[in-house]
A and B are shown apart, each in its own frame.
Chain A
Amino acid sequence: MYEGIVQDLIDELGRLPGVGPKSAQRIAFHILAADPVDVLRLADTLRQVKDQVRFCEVCGNVAQEQQCRICRDPRRDVSILCVVEEPKDVVAIEKTREFRGKYHVLGGAISPIDGIGPDDLRIRELMARLADTTVTEVILATDPNLEGEATATYLARLIAPMGLTVSRLASGLPVGGDLEYADEVTLGRAFAGRRALS
């Protein structure tokens, strides 16, 4: 244990995803030894990001205004909606340049073992968007793991009575992996070869 505030810093860093106690200690001592200007810039960026970045009121993506860049873009095809788990998946799909429609970010996947059910995700918002007739195709691009698959199964069942085309990304994505780690070529191919569920 270190003295007061240094230990507080280590504890805070240790709460970040992917940072274990050893790494937290290493980062803390890096910060202590660093130039104060660099550290203040980091602190400023952290504060700005919490002040200025919010979630798009339409799709749930990260945004700097009420709506994100993609929702505001009039050139995007409003008839196709791609459903993803996280904002980082939007970034991964945008890199493929295969998709010109709009997105809906759920905020995760259904995970009963973690107590996360359909009501904890932005599914009600999704259904409200689909109720208006502009969308004709929904692409379910949840992660290629069990929770992503089960979430897609749930959504397909919910959307089926609305008579829309529902498709799922083609296989070829690494099973058990995270969408964000798929390379652009594989992800692009999965998009082009999506299969219809209904």
Chain B
Amino acid sequence: MLRTQKLGEADRIVTLLTREHGRVRCVARGVRKTSSRIGARLEPFSHVDIQLYSGKSLDNVSQVETLASHGARLSGDYGAWTAGTAMLETAERMTPEEREPSVQQYALLVSGLRSLAGNEHSATLILDAYLLRSLAVAGWSPSFDQCAKCGAPGPHRAFAVAAGGMVCPTCRPPGSAAPSQGAVQLLGALLSGDWTRADSAQMRVQREASGLVAAFLQWHLEHQLRSLRLVDRQ
């Protein structure tokens, strides 16, 4: 469940990311006015088994079974909730075409939310790992070791979002950033899933890495994510 929006007096439009049918929007009727059991199950972050039937413009929800409902846990932890919301918005933006299957984005989101709800690592690290992998799945895998342009073996000092990551002195475009070695190592660890290394990164380094991830994401999505600037990084 990615998002719910009010429709009319008592209905909701629900956006889902599904395993086989990609992103799907559908209508849940009468779920706001009554204490309908379906209403309580249709909330963002929930992992559900859902049945739809065809409607006029959008399909209608007929049955919902909850597989995992992370909402209550996340809404009780403001940092995790805002990080999770940024993940949901990213998943929506990474699947621009409705009903185009995207099993990898689906799997990434399911495991990312599970990790977040299980409090396995700090919420912002889980978010950054998710964002990097989501970019990689979309074909925008950033390079944190070899030169993103010519492939010269790293480590390199300069970072250029438009070039796709770290760049060698020859390829380095003017105005490239020069991130700390620690931040670059953290980004590599997050992308490859080296959590022992990632968990031990200092707060200052984590913040620097988050800034680079946000720059990457914004470059590729062309618009800023609304929820990313509201992630609570306390």
Binding site for B on A (CB under 8 A): 17-18, 20, 110, 112-115, 117, 145-147, 149-150, 153-154, 157, 174-178, 181
Contacts and interface: CB of A to CB of B under 8 A. Distances in A.
Contacts of A114: 226
Given A18-B8, A176-B39, A177-B32, A153 B226 contact: no
Interface in B95-119: none
Contact of A149 (B3, B32, B72): B72
Contact of A113 (B3, B9, B32): B3
A174 B39 CA distance: 9
B78 interface: yes
Given A18-B8, A150-B81, A157-B78, A112 B227 contact: yes
Interface of B: 3, 6, 8-9, 31-35, 39-40, 42-45, 71-72, 74-78, 81-82, 85-86, 88-89, 226-227, 229-232
A117 B3 CA distance: 17
A18 B3 contact: no
Contacts of A154: 78, 232
A117 B230 CA distance: 6
Given A18-B8, A113-B89, A154-B78, A177 B44 contact: no
Contacts of A157: 78
Contacts of A110: 230
Contacts of A117: 229-230
B226 A113 contact: yes
A113 B40 contact: no
B34 A146 contact: no
B89 A176 contact: no
Contact of B82 (A112, A115, A177): A112
A149 B85 CA distance: 14
A146 B82 contact: no
B226 A181 contact: no
A146 B227 contact: no
A177 B81 contact: no
A145 B42 CA distance: 10
Contacts of B71: 146
